[in-house]
Structure 1
Amino acid sequence: MTSRQRLSVVIISKNEADLLPDCLASVSWADEIVVLDSGSEDNTVEVARQAGARVWQSTHWQGFGKQRQLAQSYASNDMILMIDADERVTPPLRQAIEQVLSSPASNTVYSLGRSNLFLGRFMRHSGWYPDRVMRLYPRQLSYNDNLVHESLETQGAPVVALKGDLQHLTCRDLVAFQRKQLNYAAAWAQERHQRGKRCGIVSIFTHTLGAFCKTLILRAGFLDGKQGWILAVVNAQYTFNKYSTLWALNRPSAKGSV
């Protein structure tokens, strides 16, 4: 009889004291919870410790990919579930994960369907559902080094989709969400600039228009009502910020010019 695999839930955090309690409660059944904090100025660390999590701190920020790698290095179990403070494991998803742990498959990665909240509505279209992410995997695998939009390097392992949703409180406050998007856009542009990537002025606007049309029409964002229309504009704005920042980084310095 195959023994049940033990699960380590791994979370990276910074100033997540408000969101963390519900996140931790949704995975309280796990064998271990590891939290790596990036220098919170609120009581995130205390909240995590009170919930029984094993907590480490690292303020040497090298990007999301590197931070997830470091956080995972503190885990001690065979299976990793990587989640964020603004995510919650629903009961159906927990049941699916428990089944995996009870009947483990060798070298298999599991994708979770995310249900994303946008301005009070869990989106069902717009490319936001099912927003599948590979988050449950054996500990010998790890994330890549990307500054943002990091992803798991599966090394050719088969990927199995699990039932049940991972709820993601993506956007509760539009201004805060757009600030985060702006930071992501800047990191995206900086990363590609360092790799020698360039873009022209026409490319900025074709990508921006394409993002709007893809969200609203191709991904049926109009079926998500008012939030779908707003999200299409937000996605276009994010795309504009990415490519215009990359364009600006590749411009010669104007310092001293007349």
Structure 2
Amino acid sequence: MSARQRLSVVMIAKNEAGLLPDCLASVSWADEIILLDSGSSDQTPEIARQHGVKVYQSEEWPGYGLQRQHAQRYATGDMILMIDADERVTDELRASIERVLDCPEPHTVYSIARRNLFLGRFMRHSGWYPDRVTRLYPRDYHYNDNQVHESLDTREAHVVPLRGDLKHLTCRDFSAFQRKQFAYAEAWAKQRHQQGKSCSMFSVFSHTISAFLKTLVLRAGFLDGKQGWLLSVVNAQYTFNKYAALWALNQAADKGSL
């Protein structure tokens, strides 16, 4: 029988003092917690240390994918659980994770259903649930290099869904959420531009309209009530920002201003 695997919880954070305590309490049972701080100006590092977290500093910001790779290098556990400060591991999810640690399977990674909060409501539709993300995995797997929308490079691994949810406090403050969405859109556009990607004005609007209809109709966002309608508009706006920014970068490059 295999020995129980050691679990390292790995996090990247900046200015998350308000959210961090509840997050850390939900994973206090892990063998170690690693936090890579990206130059916080609040009490994030101090709060983490008070909870027994191993805190490291990184003043540079290479993008989400590379930053997660950097943070994972400090982990010593056999298995990695990658989470963010605005996420909480539920009791049912903890039980599922502990069963995996007791009986590990070779060449296997594990997906987790996120329960996303949007303006006071945990969404059940709109493409926001179960919103599976692969977050539990052996330490020899790593995240890709994407600046945003990063994900685990699962290679040929078998992906097994776990029981239990990861609560994600996605949107508590609408203005802050919008600012983050705009930053994601800008980073997405810059990365695509650097890869030589382009888009037409038609693509800007076709993708925008498609995003709205996909959220509201295909993903049954209307069943999430007022929040579902608002999220449909937000997704459309985010999509517009991404493609409009890419179009603008291409226009500027064509005119020699970049």
Provide the TM-score with structure 1 as the length reference.
0.98
Shift in Å at residue 106 of structure 1?
1.1
Between the aligned partners of 1:235 and 1:2, the Cα distance in structure 2 is 45
1:215 is aligned to 2:201: no
Q: What is the aligned partner in structure 2 of residue 251 from structure 1?
A: 251
Number of aligned residues: 257
Q: What secondary structure does 1:164 align onto?
A: strand
Between the aligned partners of 1:197 and 1:233, the Cα distance in structure 2 is 25
Q: What is the aligned partner in structure 2 of residue 20 from structure 1?
A: 20
1:119 is aligned to 2:92: no
Q: Quick one: which amino acid aligns to residue 39 of structure 2?
A: G
Provide the identity percentage.
71
Q: What is the aligned partner in structure 2 of residue 141 from structure 1?
A: 141
Which stretch shows the higher mean deviation, 178-187 or 1-10? 1-10
Between the aligned partners of 1:54 and 1:253, the Cα distance in structure 2 is 44
Shift in Å at residue 254 of structure 1?
9.6
Task: String of CA shifts for 1:207-239, please: whole Å, max 9, x gaps.
Answer: 000000000000000000000000000000000
Between the aligned partners of 1:115 and 1:156, the Cα distance in structure 2 is 27
Matches within 5 A, 1:153-168: 153-168=153-168
Shift in Å at residue 252 of structure 1?
3.5
Between the aligned partners of 1:6 and 1:141, the Cα distance in structure 2 is 15
Q: What secondary structure does 2:83 align onto?
A: strand
Q: What is the aligned partner in structure 2 of residue 81 from structure 1?
A: 81
Between the aligned partners of 2:141 and 2:47, the Cα distance in structure 1 is 29
Q: What is the aligned partner in structure 1 of residue 198 from structure 2?
A: 198
Q: What secondary structure does 1:129 align onto?
A: coil
Q: What is the aligned partner in structure 2 of residue 107 from structure 1?
A: 107
Closer, same or farther in 2 for the Cα pair 1:113/1:200, shift >3 Å? same
Q: Quick one: which amino acid aligns to residue 147 of structure 1?
A: Q
Q: What secondary structure does 2:33 align onto?
A: strand
Between the aligned partners of 1:149 and 1:60, the Cα distance in structure 2 is 19
Q: Quick one: which amino acid aligns to residue 82 of structure 2?
A: M
Q: What secondary structure does 1:250 align onto?
A: helix
**RMSD across aligned C-alpha pairs, in angstroms?**
1.3
The unaligned stretches of length 5 or more in structure 2 are none
Runs of 4+ displaced beyond 4 Å: 253-257
Between the aligned partners of 2:253 and 2:239, the Cα distance in structure 1 is 24
Q: What is the aligned partner in structure 2 of residue 182 from structure 1?
A: 182
Between the aligned partners of 1:131 and 1:256, the Cα distance in structure 2 is 41
The unaligned stretches of length 5 or more in structure 1 are none
Between the aligned partners of 2:70 and 2:114, the Cα distance in structure 1 is 24
Between the aligned partners of 2:99 and 2:253, the Cα distance in structure 1 is 58
Q: Quick one: which amino acid aligns to residue 211 of structure 1?
A: A
Task: String of CA shifts for 1:188-212, please: whole Å, max 9, x gaps.
Answer: 0000000010000011000000000
Q: What is the aligned partner in structure 1 of residue 242 from structure 2?
A: 242
Q: What is the aligned partner in structure 2 of residue 226 from structure 1?
A: 226
Shift in Å at residue 2 of structure 1?
2.0
Task: String of CA shifts for 1:140-196, please: whole Å, max 9, x gaps.
Answer: 000000000001001110000000000000000111000000000000000000001
Shift in Å at residue 60 of structure 1?
1.1
Between the aligned partners of 1:123 and 1:255, the Cα distance in structure 2 is 44
Between the aligned partners of 2:231 and 2:99, the Cα distance in structure 1 is 35
Shift in Å at residue 107 of structure 1?
1.9
